[in-house]
Chains A and B, each alone.
Chain A
Amino acid sequence: MLNNHKQIIKGREVVDDDWSVLKLDEGQTPEAVEIPAGKIIVPLPVWLAQRESLAAREQVGIWFAPDELAHTVKDDLDKFSVVAVEFPKFTDGRGYSIAYNLRKRLGYTGELRAIGDVLRDQLFQMYRCGFDAYATREDRNIHDALKGLTVFSETYQASVDDPLPLFRRQARGALPEHSDVGAGI
């Protein structure tokens, strides 16, 4: 089965997209499944099973299921035009660690795309963990979803987006003379 989102968010913009995500149907195996021509993002097991023929393509992408580990493809990362991570549901946070490991441990610098149950309210943490593309759920307005990327202007911890924690970036400790918190928000 091939899924295509006509539009995705890339960086901070809505753009047209011509990649398709391949999912194995019942009965299909990673070894035997036929990969159509074109820009296809294949499941990790398909990549592992058909590595040689897929690597010969001009462009190919892979996607991780949440229980798969980034280092499985540590020597292959330069072969992908896009790497995607699936969030089967909002509450499954393993994809954040996959993204972190791809960026921080393995130094992957290409497109990192969130797919699956991807909604506005996850985008900020996805961005922080290293995603730069988001195939948001198509039953929701993608332009609304963009707002999810600009929720916070400061964060405490280091992550992929900012390798330094707040205490190393800013001189902390100034107390505001008049707190405007609580007034008319």
Chain B
Amino acid sequence: MYRYDQYDHLIVRERIAQYRDQVQRRLSDELTEEEFLPLRLQNGLYMQRHAYMLRIAVPYGLLSTAQMRTFAHIARKYDRGYGHFTTRQNIQFNWIELEQTPDILTDLAAVEMHAIQTSGNCIRNTTTDQFAGVAADEIIDPRPFAEILRQWSTFHPEFIALPRKFKIAINGAVEDRAAIAVHDIGLTAVRNEAGEVGFKFMVGGGLGRTPIIGSVINDFVPWQHLLTYTEAIMRVYNQFGRRDNKYKARIKILVKAVGAEEFARMVEAEFADLKDGPETLTREELERVAVWFNPKPYKTLEAIDPLAANGQNAAGDKAFANWLQRNVKPHKVPGYASVVLSLKKTGVPPGDATAEQMDFVADLGDKYSFGELRVTHEQNLVLADVEQSKLYEVWQQAKAKGLATPNIGFLTDMISCPGGDYCSLANAKSIPIAAAIAKRFDDLDYQHDIGDLELNISGCINACGHHHVGHIGVLGVDKDGSEWYQVSIGGAQGNTAAIGKIIGPSFSAPQMPEVVQRLLDVYLKNRVEGERFIDVAQRLGIAPFKEHVYATPIPAGELAVGEDQYA
């Protein structure tokens, strides 16, 4: 993975000094809270319901085991012993003291990390495929380009106070695992007929109040022009994006207002001035960065059947077989596989990990995966380079620490924002809903029968839990001061991205498990061979689901987890 050179170190070091001084000025009241707010936001520090939350950047979701151990250290020393992995492949800590934040940044800098631009109205962490570099279906490794974008966007002087936040995602594989269609800029690395590498630029996708699938404005921008073309988009947006209403300030609203064609023309006009200018990437710079992402020193192995090859115990173990089926992904090198460690164990808020688990995962990374780890945007962790013959060992150890729930891609592998238990923006709690649903559908055989199903929960319209693109999406809404949940179906991420449709009036929290049950009943009754929930939902539309869900009064179940348990 990328290592800082002397300039990266210098910039981060000077940033800490600047931020430490800003905190000092806030504490001495030289800065008002209003003035301090955009400064701390640029550094990932939010005021939450109970305390400050610090979001730390994990660039494109890739981290070293030393970095993971630093998270464990931060969880112990400055927080309450755990952290929360986010849908932007970052980590956040929810119980932070303002006075200690400069010291946390200092600890992070020692392992080449920071919290720069993890919030605020600026360019955020560029996200990508969690299997970048190892996926069997990869065409181009997107990570060198993500790193180049990271450096270019860090403290960009002109784009530091945009109308709204700005998120970029890159995909380089056949299957889009980076949700590019719902990003401000979604990049697909492609090869043209001459074999040259470039990017397809999709702009103006997004979730939130106005969910929109992005529009392609250029099918092929040669890689040399990645930064200049992006700069052209940013300058158009900075000048013309709306600033009168924060809910209409994302680039998607601008693209929609002027039309994708006109927007593309505006970008081209801007780009004409920048094209071939000094920000044009050189092969030398690309190679300097790309060398850090070279393939690992893999052994020459033959592909094996892990079930058969891990001994008698493994072959007879149904739980191991389940885990292999759900949590182990194909690798492009024979004899290797990628392992997803589930952070979705029933009873634990999705994406949460304890300091002990972090240290443990770091140990696994050192022992089995070249000292590297990844965070997925579905809020799980990945060991990308595990020898197939070691899978049984890895499984046994992960299982002992509660990290081997064989539910990747299943109903209980939910995406959920922290919701009203923590977040001051939320209209409703998310975690207790996730917990109640997880408890109701804990039975793995039933989950296997249901098959692939993405259930996403957001506690408010900001859609941090990506509810619009969940096969089942749950959105917390506020009605007369109490918490209600609106349900949509038919949303999808990836190559066939779609925005879900709302099935009808919202539900109370205790009704939610039964609502999900009824949706599943309709699916099970109507599916034909091999159809997933999403296929049936898209084939039949919402009508039969709606009819069944609202046919009879919905009994309220018990909520498994209240706020107190996580407060």
Contact = CB atoms under 8 A, between A and B. Distances in A.
A181 B106 CA distance: 7
Contact of B155 (A129, A156, A170): A156
A128 B158 CA distance: 8
Contacts of B11: 152, 154-156
Given A90-B38, A121-B22, A151-B18, A181 B239 contact: no
Interface residues of A, number: 44
A155 B243 CA distance: 28
Interface string A147-169: 00001111111110001111110
Interface string B148-174: 000110111111111000000000000
A152 B14 contact: yes
A152 B16 CA distance: 11
Contact of B109 (A125, A152, A156, A182): A182
Nearest to B107: A182
Using C-beta atoms within 8 Å of the partner chain, give the interface range for chain B: 35 or more
Interface stretch (A8-16, A35-43, A94-102): A94-102
B15 to A, nearest CB: 8
A179 interface: yes
B194 interface: no
Nearest to B150: A156
B38 A185 contact: no
Given A154-B7, A175-B3, A179-B110, A93 B159 contact: yes
Interface stretch (B79-87, B277-285, B513-521, B540-548): B277-285
Nearest to B109: A181
Contacts of A168: 278, 282
A185 B17 CA distance: 7
B18 A158 contact: no
Given A105-B273, A165-B279, A93 B161 contact: yes
Contacts of B155: 125, 152, 155-156
Contacts of B278: 158, 163-165, 168
A174 interface: yes
Contacts of A181: 9, 12-13, 106, 109-110, 112
Contacts of B288: 167, 172-173
B121 interface: yes
A27 interface: no
Contacts of A167: 282, 284-285, 288
B399 interface: no
A90 B35 contact: yes
A80 interface: no
Interface string A125-138: 11011000000000
B9 A128 contact: no
Contacts of A174: 5-6
Interface of B: 3-7, 9-18, 20, 22, 35, 38-39, 102, 106-107, 109-110, 112, 121, 151-152, 154-162, 227, 235, 238-239, 243, 273, 277-279, 282, 284-285, 288
11 contacts: A93-B121, A93-B158, A93-B161, A93-B162, A125-B157, A158-B278, A164-B278, A175-B3, A182-B110, A185-B17, A185-B20
Interface of A: 66, 69, 90-94, 96-97, 100, 105, 119, 121, 124-126, 128-129, 151-159, 163-168, 170, 172-176, 179, 181-183, 185
Q: Which 6 A-B pairs have the closest CB atoms?
A: A93-B161, A182-B110, A128-B157, A125-B157, A167-B285, A181-B109
